[in-house]
Structure 1
Amino acid sequence: MNSLSRRGQIIIGTAAVILLTALSLVAVGVVGSLVNPGGTGFLSRTRCVAPNLPGPVVSVSLTNMGGPMMGPRNGMMGGAMRMTADRSTVAHGPVSFLVTNGGTISHELVILPLPSDQIAGTRPVAGDGTIDEAGSLAEASNTCAEGTGQGILPGASGWVTVTLPPGRYELVCNLPGHYAAGMYTQLTVN
């Protein structure tokens, strides 16, 4: 086989991979939009309007970099993940959490008490990639709605209001692998 035909094969193979990847992304976006007409596919992202929330509102941002998690890499799932809150302290009483998923996969927010001798991000992770949610005070995992659901879809928001006594709390995403990949932050209630 001469070098010209080998080069031609490489060019054709590369073009085929690019074309198939593009078609796959379009198909995922179209199918996602058809399955969930609110527009949760890649081509259009759901936009939610939260109601007027009581108490101080903590805006929480959920993100992941890279593509969908493809499996373990160095004990962690692929892609860096992050959870950030626009404030680290609030007054005790009713507190609302407005949670926005800026990533490319579903996420959630779970509110857990944080013992005084524990550091955020150090909870033991089980074999299924989750942490123990015993003692959870509330959850925002419902797309464009309040409370518990199947996860907040990319580009969407969810919210929850909970009455918090003074103390330390850990905000986490407890979908498999997300906590270990960095989806946690601390909140102090005075």
Structure 2
Amino acid sequence: MTTPHRPTAEELAAAQDAVIPDVAGPGLRVLFCGINPGLWSGATGHHFARPGNRFWPALYRSGFTPRQLRPDEQGELPALGLGITNVVARTTAKAVELTAEEYRAGGAALVERVERLRPRVLAVLGIGAYRAAFGRPRAAVGRQPESIGGAEVWVLPNPSGLNAHYTLDGLAEEFGRLREAVEAME
């Protein structure tokens, strides 16, 4: 097992406002959508790369992946029918740096991306991001009543280690509900 690259303070500072490419392609089962990449992701070029982020463990524990992938193995996701994008593309130290306008513009761009890629499900990781991007102030975690670009929409908890409302087990449970719903579609 390789040791992941730990960005230096200089690399993290230089990653501010960077954009990392989506891991996506047409016809995915699930397109996971983060809020925006953090500086660690910007510095490494890998989604959900910061140690302590629980995306990769939750993905594995919920049964989406056969083993726990590392962020530098994100390229394996499309073969599993999975992808990653973000509501807002630019990297920041914290999501609170994003403006309401960025969320709305990101939501509109996400709709276009989903219409083009046509995943079965769009899973937005973060209730606040979903509410802000799509003007749904009462949205709750779980399956949403509306679809986007023909994709069923689910909102899952933000897997950031800063989200103290959910334990890793709780995240895996929510991700597992989505996995079961996706398998029922197949």
| TM-score, scaled relative to structure 2 | 0.28
- Asked which structure has the greater RCO (Cα within 8 Å, sep 6+), the reply is 2
- Which is strand-richer, 1 or 2? 1
Structure number, greater radius of gyration: 1
- Which is helix-richer, 1 or 2? 2
